[in-house]
């Protein structure tokens, strides 16, 4: 019997399970890969985000230190590096989503790295500061700030490091052709060319009425606007055809501030004026505090000579020289920091006679052989008191008059009297600068003289300083005249370096001048034709009776102005840059006023406050031949005791991390 077996049948459901499991495994692998990729991408993104946050924190730490350096540098005194390294301890992180530990990359925490080199700027002048200040030199402290930020409790270490380089610069303001700490008005009616830099901490109102050429940078912390100052009563119309720029003007640039010790909020015009006035007794010479860096910004403290008079200002001196006084100021002086200087002209009353015998001004020896009982009525040959009339102010000017020519003799006369004693400024001059003017106590001869006129300002009289016979300055080191009162300059000033030699007169070529500066409340130029005793001056006669004559002034001029105002609809124009030098004579375009220097306006005038009215009243305008003295662009040729603006000049900042 044949037995049949049924054919075996493959189990299909088993293969399906295997295939399903295989696809499931592949899906799991793909899903795992996607999840791993997503997790890795999230980790990378989180790391990138954390690094960016850390970098921002590091930059914030660096900026915290820099902001404190900026504050202290501009408004006071810069501290040492380690002071700013601890600035990060003042950062409040309580509201931050991520907390950080700050370090200096050397393993130190809760501090960053700050390097300030050198801390004494006098040895580190930079010929070109670059950036906004290209072409200007300055004393610069080169600084580096490095901050590292490390996030905490974030599951990973993500350090970020930021390095910032900068310069803390002191910039002598006389390098600018024009520097205004107030609004600058500009509306000349004659062609005028400005070759140097123009900087304004306010707004520049440009409305020339004749061709005006600016051959360098013009910049304002406010705006440079092509319109007349709205407070100008002249209501002038702007014409673009008169305005010519070599470089497009810049608006909203950084302010440049003058250092003001003890004023931590601003360097506004009113505060700046204090630098040219008497400092508080506690910080004035001869106190110890006067010689600190922050208090040497006061011209009174920095001056080599301080000259003052009595409150009456009467010409002539009372007994024993109490009317006019000259003080020699030197920290290193073994006889005292502030010494009353002996008069170089004295009157003697000999025994047994009523005859008065005077000294010989050239030899400082008695003219007769007598026994001197006492001396009286002491005089300084180079300082007197004078009176004259100012028609703009409508006041009698009671001025200390400074004769530069006689002062030159005083500081160079090495002759002695019969007793072998000097009756001149020669020993003081030598003590400061030595035989070559470069050594001695201060490394320069007497080059800065501060005047304080004790005459009381009133409705009828004006205290002031007048400079005469200033054709030649005492030495190549130059001369700076400083006072909180108005300054009057009679005749040519600083036109030659040697008597009888080539002169810088009537020209913009200043090859034969020495560094010079005039700093006061206002500056008025009187030509050589001016005459104090002419009744037309004293009685308020017509300006046509006061003719001007060709005059040249070669000096940087820092002053105050009477600003443009509009009170109850009554407008008063400042006179503009074109009238920053005041005039009281009838120049009538037939005489030329040549001016080479630097125009610096820092504050509203305190003493000479009457408004500018315009030509044809108390004066008529001259032909202006003005130029910027390019000598001031060089450190060796800048005027003594030049005020210096402060600025932080940024370099590059570099991020890094790990």
Model confidence over 581-607: pLDDT tens digits? 999 999 987 899 999 999 999 999 999
Q: What is the pLDDT of residue 449?
A: 98
Q: What is the mean pLDDT of residues 162-176?
A: 92
Task: Determine the Cα–Cα distance for residues 70 and 53; give it in Å rounded to an integer.
Answer: 25
Answer yes or no: is pLDDT of 261 > 50. Answer: yes
How high does pLDDT run on average in the chain? Answer: 85
Answer yes or no: is pLDDT of 348 > 70. Answer: no
> For a pLDDT cut of 90, what percent of the chain falls above it?
54
Nearest one of 572, 557, 481, 484 to 525, comparing CA atoms:
557
Q: What is the pLDDT of residue 317?
A: 45
- 29-33, 168-172, 439-443: which has the minimum mean pLDDT? 29-33
Q: 492: how many CB neighbours lie within 10 A of its CB?
A: 23
- 118-122, 130-134, 638-642: which has the minimum mean pLDDT? 118-122
Q: What is the mean pLDDT of residues 505-527?
A: 96
Contact between 453 and 398 under an 8 Å Cβ cutoff? The reply is: yes
Task: Determine the Cα–Cα distance for residues 328 and 337; give it in Å rounded to an integer.
Answer: 8
Q: What is the pLDDT of residue 247?
A: 93
> Which residues in 279-432 belong to E strands, given as ranges?
305-309, 324-329, 338-340, 345-350, 357-358, 372-379, 383-390, 395-403
Model confidence over 57-87: pLDDT tens digits? 899 999 999 999 988 887 767 888 989 999 9
Q: What is the pLDDT of residue 360?
A: 42
Within 8 A by CB and 6+ apart from 331, the residues are 291, 337, 441
Answer yes or no: is pLDDT of 359 > 60. Answer: no
Model confidence over 195-232: pLDDT tens digits? 999 999 999 999 999 999 999 999 999 999 999 999 99
Domain ranges of the chain: 45-172+648-657, 176-256, 345-377
Q: What is the pLDDT of residue 556?
A: 98
- Residue 40 banded pLDDT, cuts 50, 70, 90: low
Answer yes or no: is pLDDT of 463 > 60. Answer: yes
> For a pLDDT cut of 70, what percent of the chain falls above it?
83
Give the length of the chain: 658
Q: What is the pLDDT of residue 540?
A: 58
């Amino acid at each position: 019997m044949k037995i049949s077996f049924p054919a075996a049948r493959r189990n299909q459901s088993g293969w399906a399970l295997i295939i399903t499991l295989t696809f499931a495994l592949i899906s799991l692998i793909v899903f795992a890969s996607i999840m791993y990729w997503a997790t890795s991408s999230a980790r990378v993104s989180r790391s990138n985000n954390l690094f960016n946050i850390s970098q921002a924190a590091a930059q914030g730490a660096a900026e915290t230190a820099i902001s404190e350096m900026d504050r202290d540098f501009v408004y006071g005194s810069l501290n040492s590096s380690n002071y700013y390294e601890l600035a990060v301890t003042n950062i409040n992180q309580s509201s931050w989503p991520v907390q950080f530990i700050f370090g200096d990359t050397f393993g130190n925490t809760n501090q960053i790295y700050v390097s300030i080199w050198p801390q004494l700027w006098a040895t580190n002048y930079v010929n070109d500061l670059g950036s906004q200040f290209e072409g200007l030199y300055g004393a610069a402290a080169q600084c580096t700030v490095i901050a590292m930020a490390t996030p905490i409790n974030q599951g990973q270490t993500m350090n970020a490091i930021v390095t910032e380089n900068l310069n803390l610069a002191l910039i002598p303001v006389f390098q600018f052709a024009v520097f205004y700490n107030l609004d600058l008005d500009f509306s000349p009616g004659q062609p005028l060319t400005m070759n140097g830099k123009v900087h304004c901490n306010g707004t520049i109102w440009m409305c020339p009425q004749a061709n005006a050429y600016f051959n360098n940078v013009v910049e304002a912390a406010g705006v440079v606007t092509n319109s007349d100052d709205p407070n100008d009563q002249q209501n002038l119309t702007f014409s673009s055809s008169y305005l010519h720029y070599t470089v497009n003007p810049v608006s909203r640039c950084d302010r440049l501030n003058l250092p003001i010790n003890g004023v931590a909020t601003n360097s506004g015009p009113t505060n700046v004026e204090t630098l040219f006035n008497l400092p508080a007794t506690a910080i004035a010479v001869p106190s110890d505090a006067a010689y600190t860096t922050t208090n040497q910004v006061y011209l009174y403290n920095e001056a080599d000579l301080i000259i003052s008079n009595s409150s009456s200002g009467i010409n002539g001196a009372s007994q024993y020289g109490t009317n006019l006084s000259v003080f020699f100021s030197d920290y290193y002086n073994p006889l005292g920091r502030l010494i009353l200087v002996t008069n170089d002209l004295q009157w003697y009353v000999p025994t047994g006679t009523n005859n008065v015998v005077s000294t010989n001004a050239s030899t400082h020896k008695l003219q007769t052989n007598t026994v001197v009982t006492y001396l009286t009525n002491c005089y300084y040959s180079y300082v007197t008191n004078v009176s004259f009339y100012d028609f703009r102010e409508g006041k009698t000017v009671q001025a200390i008059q400074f004769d530069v020519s006689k002062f030159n003799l005083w500081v160079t006369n090495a002759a002695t009297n019969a007793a072998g004693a000097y009756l001149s400024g020669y020993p003081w001059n030598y003590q400061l600068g030595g035989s070559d003017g470069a050594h001695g106590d201060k490394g320069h001869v007497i080059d800065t003289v501060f005047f304080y006129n004790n005459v009381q300002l009133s409705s009828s009289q004006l205290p002031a300083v007048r400079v005469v016979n200033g054709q030649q300055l005492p030495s190549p080191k130059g001369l700076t005249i400083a006072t909180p009162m108005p300054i009057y300059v009679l005749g040519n000033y600083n036109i030659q370096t040697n008597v009888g030699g080539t002169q810088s007169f009537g020209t913009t070529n200043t090859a034969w001048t020495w560094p010079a500066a005039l700093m006061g409340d206002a500056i008025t130029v009187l030509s050589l034709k001016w005459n104090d005793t002419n009744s037309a001056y004293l009685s308020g006669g017509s300006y046509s009776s006061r003719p001007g004559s060709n005059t040249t002034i070669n000096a940087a001029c820092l002053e105050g102005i009477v600003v443009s105002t509009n009170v109850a609809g009554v407008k008063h124009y400042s006179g503009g840059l074109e009238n920053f030098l005041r005039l009281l004579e009838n120049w009538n375009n037939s005489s030329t006023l040549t001016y080479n220097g630097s125009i610096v306006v820092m504050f509203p005038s305190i003493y000479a406050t009457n408004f500018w009215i315009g030509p044809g009243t108390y004066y008529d305008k001259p032909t202006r031949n003005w130029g910027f003295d390019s000598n001031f662009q060089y450190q060796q040729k800048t005027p003594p005791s030049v005020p210096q603006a402060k600025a932080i000049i940024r370099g590059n900042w570099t991020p890094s991390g790990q």
